[in-house]
Amino acid sequence: MQKNFWYGKRVLVTGGEGFLASHLVKQLIDVGACVTTTVRHARPLNTLNLIQKGPKKSASPDVEHSDLLDFFALRRICDRHQIDTIFHLAASAIVSDAANSPMSTIENNVVGTLNILEVARINHIPRVVIASTDKSYGDHANDNLEKLPYRENYALRGLDVYSASKVCADVLSQTYSYQFKLPVVVLRPCNMYGPADLNFSRLIPRTIMCLLSGRAPHINAGNADVLREYMYIEDVVQGYLLAAEKVSDIYGENNQNMPKHGKETYGWAAFNLGSYTEKDLQNISKCDKIRSVTTVIDMLRKKIKNIEPVVKAKAANFIEIPDQYLDGGKLGKLGFKPKVNFEQGIDKTISWYKEHFDDLSGLAERYIAN
């Protein structure tokens, strides 16, 4: 992080109640930014409050209760707070929920992103970071030309509703970059984990809550061996901050670094957020953050309680993307270096869920019931 970069910056973080947003907001406030968040729904538990428990409390952001689908409200918010940086994180972000509500997911993730891009274009906002995902790349399993690890210039082939919505938002963001020279970067992170993810359908929070309550963890049928890459939430936050700090270097004066045509334009504004370079990935067994579902569950069983998992049938509409991991070299060249290894991250995560178990158990119940 550049010293004093964030001091006094006027930052909008969308979806302020979310997992990543809460951690990012806390960090931005700690380094002196003036933060505004948009929040759509009141939640039974406030994530930011949960991560701020303890003696060292940060200030609070300005909270605007607003839906991103309301373009004029969004514009008023950016004007009112004189926003100079946007982190667009709000999304319908749960893959299984998206499969059950395609219209609202696509509307929310695509039109919500379009509204952000359009406000940023009209207001000449100098730094915009859009959350995409490794899911956007989708299935490259048998692709001999575009093999794993995923690289930024690969085709985006997300074919389930969530991934497709993120592909559209990702491509729209690149369009605004290329056509309107909007200073936007698109981040494509791997799976994130850490304290205060209240989305209990996700593997790590669900398994921890199952084991802490003495119940069997779940494996979706056929899913036990697929590889996923994981990153601890504090590292993810550092990646987002760095990407925003580097926007003007990435574009260069008068956008001189932007390619004019051809393959150079493919994914030019996009950056993977992963821990490994192509060289590291030559020996994948040494990459401790790339793991199968079974090895994640086994590690949690060893650390919490050794209960045998149960295999659950997958919903008929659930598509499991084959193995996924990223070449993180492009953001690495800008100076990104994640610090937390998987074991350290998991230990911190388990401690947090243990400490907050009583607050969380009611909310988690429907996801952990056997």
Which residue number places its CB atom closest to ligand NAD?
18
Binding mask 93-122 for ligand NAD (x = CB under 6 A): x--------------x---x----------
**Centroid of chain to Cα 264:** 25
Residue 162 appears among annotated catalytic residues: yes
Tell me how far, at minimum, the Cβ of 198 lies from ligand NAD, in Å.
7
Q: Are 354 and 45 in contact (CB under 8 A)?
A: no
Restricting to residues 119-138, which ones interact with ligand NAD according to CB under 6 A?
131, 133
38 lies in the site for ligand NAD, by CB under 6 A: yes
CB of 166 to ligand NAD, least distance (A): 6
Among 3, 41, 261, 263, binds ligand NAD (CB under 6 A): 41
Q: Which is nearer to ligand NAD, 73 or 258 (CB)?
A: 73
Q: List, in order, residues 6 or more apart from 273 with CB less than 8 Å away.
A: 187, 188, 189, 190, 231, 236, 239, 240, 326, 328, 331, 336
CA-wise closest residue to 161 among 118, 217, 100: 100
- Out of 137, 150, 154, 162, the active site residue is 162
104 vs 21, 108, 218, CA distance in Å? 21, 6, 28
Q: Does 338 bind ligand NAD (CB under 6 A)?
A: no
Q: How far is the CB of 192 from ligand NAD (least distance, A)?
A: 4
Backbone angles phi, psi at 126, to 5 degrees: -80, -5
Per-residue contact track with ligand NAD, 244 to 283, x per CB under 6 A?
----------------------------------------
Using the contact rule CB under 6 A, the part of the chain among 11-19, 245-253, 287-295, 342-350 near ligand NAD is 11-19
Nearer to ligand NAD, 84 or 229 (CB): 229
Residue placing its CB nearer to ligand NAD in the complex, 201 or 316: 201
Q: Are 38 and 74 in contact (CB under 8 A)?
A: yes
Asked if residue 33 binds ligand NAD (CB under 6 A), the reply is no
Contact flag: residue 346 with ligand NAD (CB under 6 A): no
Among 31, 45, 58, 67, binds ligand NAD (CB under 6 A): 67
State the residues that interact with ligand NAD by CB under 6 A.
14-15, 17-21, 38, 40-41, 67-69, 89-93, 108, 112, 131, 133, 189, 191-192, 199
The residues carrying an active-site annotation are: 162
